[in-house]
Amino acid sequence: MTEILSIVLGGGKGTRLFPLTKERSKPAVPFGGKYRIVDIPISNCINSGFKKIYILTQFNSASLHLHISRSYNFDHFSKGFVEILAAEQTPAHSGWYEGTADAVRKNLIHFRPHKPSHYLIVSGDQLYRMDLADMFRKHTESACRLTIAGTLVSREAASSLGIIKIRPDGCIDSFLEKPGPTKDIRDFAVPEELKPKDADPNKPYLASMGIYIFDAPLIEDALQMDANDFGKEIIPAIVAKEKVNTYVFGGYWEDIGTIRSFYEANIELTDINPQFNFYDEQMPIYTHARNLPASKLNYCTLNQALASDGCIITNASITRSIVGIRTVIESGASLDGVVCMGADYYETEAEKAENRRKHIPNIGIGGGSIIRHAIIDKNGRIGSNCRIGIDPLPREDGEYKTHYIVDGIIVIPKNQIIPDGTVI
């Protein structure tokens, strides 16, 4: 009997996404105005019919727990679930997860009672929409015990990814983890007959997407090794010993594990025809249903912008930006290339009066403020007449009193207060 258990690898400290991961785990980082990063892999699993899902994480997991408990509740008849397994101390294991494979190894005690026939392992920080059921069909047809999903990438992107060399029969010949920019990998180019239709000629290499389907006995055996990482250790060892299948994915795929890639993936959602389409009714992206009112736009100009649920925007100019849930933008504000994550709650009149007494801005963006090329995390308080990313100032990466600059992008942390008239 086929029993597929899905494992979402939530990652470690999320240092590449800091400061967005300062108070939350990487899977819980807001994305696209109303979603969380973890909604992407979970939705891919659910849409493919795989509804027994575990999320493995170990840092700042409280926010993630709250989101999962509010968002994913299956009926009693589907036998589906979405559960978080944070690192825990047991008589057998006392430390943190030491890598992707170690995270799975330390949780086998929770997986085995389900008696899975297969394990589907997916990364928790990628933007893509895939029919994982089709990948599973190809896996069973191949008669291999492991299938690895791969996507075509350029030589530049290949430097920091696991690169797969495949034979004409679609099976893996060899696997190379992060070859760097100088190594000659021309013999790893994908045979033309195995490329999807309309493949980009500038993307000749096949990179592992960190999506694996294991037969259960194989992963049990592989995790007996003294190895902690799938990409660096487990996968190369299996490839060296037995036949491994590949699933060549031809759709849009983007790693959103860094501030730069996260920012660009968000801003690209504002394109007239974005590469990642949230407007697909057949394969929707699920998230927490908040029952918020429609956004109210008073005398505004919006150009290639997304306004999420429950926003109140007055006399503002917004270009190529994302406005997150419950965002309040006051009169005369201007946003260009801004990812605004919104707010967790509306402030009451009493709270606003207290803000005035303390001389701090309300949650949201104050009147007359001009912001460009920035990420504003949840519950940010941007005062009136601020200028952020506008003036020709030296902006070196680093931590500052009120903000961070990462990859040249200004990041206003969660709950940060930016006083009236601030120039950044």
pLDDT of residue 97: 73
Q: How many CA atoms lie within 13 A of 61 on its CB side?
A: 17
- Domains plus CATH for the chain? 4-268 (3.90.550.10), 296-418 (2.160.10.10)
Per the structure block, which two tokens stand in for 272? 């007239």
Query: How much is the average pLDDT of 90-108?
Result: 77
Place of tokens 């696991």: 162
* Predicted structure pTM score: 0.92
With a cut of 90, say whether residue 16 has pLDDT above it.
no
Q: Which residues contact 143 (CB under 8 A, 6 or more apart)?
A: none
Helix (H) or strand (E) holding 68: helix 62-71
The more confidently predicted of residues 200 and 348 is: 348
Given phi > 0 = left and psi -120 to 50 = alpha, else beta, which region is 350?
alpha
Instruction: Please give the span between the terminal C-alpha atoms of the chain, in angstroms, as a whole number.
Output: 60
pLDDT tens digit string along 250-289? 888 988 889 999 999 999 999 999 999 899 888 999 999 9
Average model confidence (pLDDT) across the chain:
91
Compute CA distances 337 → 32, 81, 267, 397, whole Å: 13, 37, 7, 18
The more confidently predicted of residues 74 and 345 is: 345
The more confidently predicted of residues 274 and 78 is: 274
pLDDT grade for 12, boundaries at 50, 70 and 90: low
Q: Please answer whether residues 55 and 27 qualify as being in contact, where contact means their C-beta atoms are separated by less than 8 angstroms.
A: yes
pLDDT tens digit string along 180-202? 888 889 889 988 888 887 888 88
pLDDT of residue 125: 82
C-beta atoms surrounding 224 within 10 Å: 8
Strands of 33-161, DSSP E: 35-36, 52-57, 81-86, 118-123, 126-128, 146-153
Q: Which residues contact 297 (CB under 8 A, 6 or more apart)?
A: 307, 311, 313
94-103, 119-128, 172-181, 320-329 — most confident range? 320-329
Place of tokens 């694996």: 212
Residue 382, classed as helix, strand or coil, is strand
For residue 19, say if its preceding peptide bond is cis, omega within 30 degrees of 0: yes
Per the structure block, which two tokens stand in for 315? 């006399």
pLDDT tens digit string along 103-139? 899 899 999 999 999 999 998 888 999 999 999 999 9
Residue 284's Cα: distance from chain center in Å?
Answer: 16
